[in-house]
Amino acid sequence: MGSSSDPPHFYVYQCHFRDLSICLPFTQFECDFLNFVNSAPCQLHPNSWGFLRAFQVLCSTLGVGLSLPIFLHFYQLKLGVLPYGWASLSDSKAGGLFSLYSQSYKNFKQEFFRVALQGVDPLQDEVFHFGGLPKFPFYWRPAPARFHGAANLQLSASNTAAIANLEALPRPLDCKLVLSLANSAYKERGLESEYLVFFSC
């Protein structure tokens, strides 16, 4: 991770930008998730980042408010061999929302960027810090927080209704298709062309 004199920094994989259209700074939803699971960005497997990104696009398309408890309802976190195993999302008992972006992500570990916050004052920076503290874990954490769906979270009435609507979708949705709609002005039309049964109701 470098010496103590290094500026604050974190690592991201090239595939985050090339395949998944992740942007810096991370969205508040992405920061909230990383904090919830106590994991650095590079600690989460790329396919799991695909789920995070696709969920945001899907919510934007359907007019569903972004909510971490809604997302957690559909997934659980599995950990690789500690202390350096990757954290991966898999379907919860309720079933997941999306297919894997890639069945086999090869060599992603060798293709990464080091994002160094050179000359950044944490007390003044509002992009990667809040109140002087990082908005998400910068460095690899030895003990990510497992979860199994949203069973231990209290859901609001609106979250419960949104979950019911998402559960009615013809799952799993194609992760690549959903991500391809991120910058489209006709997101819903793109989904309708693929999932006529649901959207013609």
Q: Give pLDDT, residue 13.
A: 96
The tally of domains found in the chain comes to 1
What is the pLDDT averaged over residues 159-180? 94
31-58, pLDDT tens digit by residue? 999 999 999 999 999 999 999 999 999 9
| Residue 173 lies in domain | 9-199
Distance CA 117, CA 133 (A): 13
Distance CA 150, CA 141 (A): 22
Cβ–Cβ under 8 Å, residues 39 and 12: no
104 part of a folded domain:
yes
189 part of a folded domain:
yes
Q: Give pLDDT, residue 120.
A: 93
114-165, pLDDT tens digit by residue? 999 999 999 999 999 999 999 999 999 988 999 999 877 889 999 999 999 9
- Which residue has better confidence, 102 or 104? 102
State the chain's mean pLDDT as an integer. Answer: 90
4 part of a folded domain:
no
CA end-to-end span of the chain, whole Å?
52
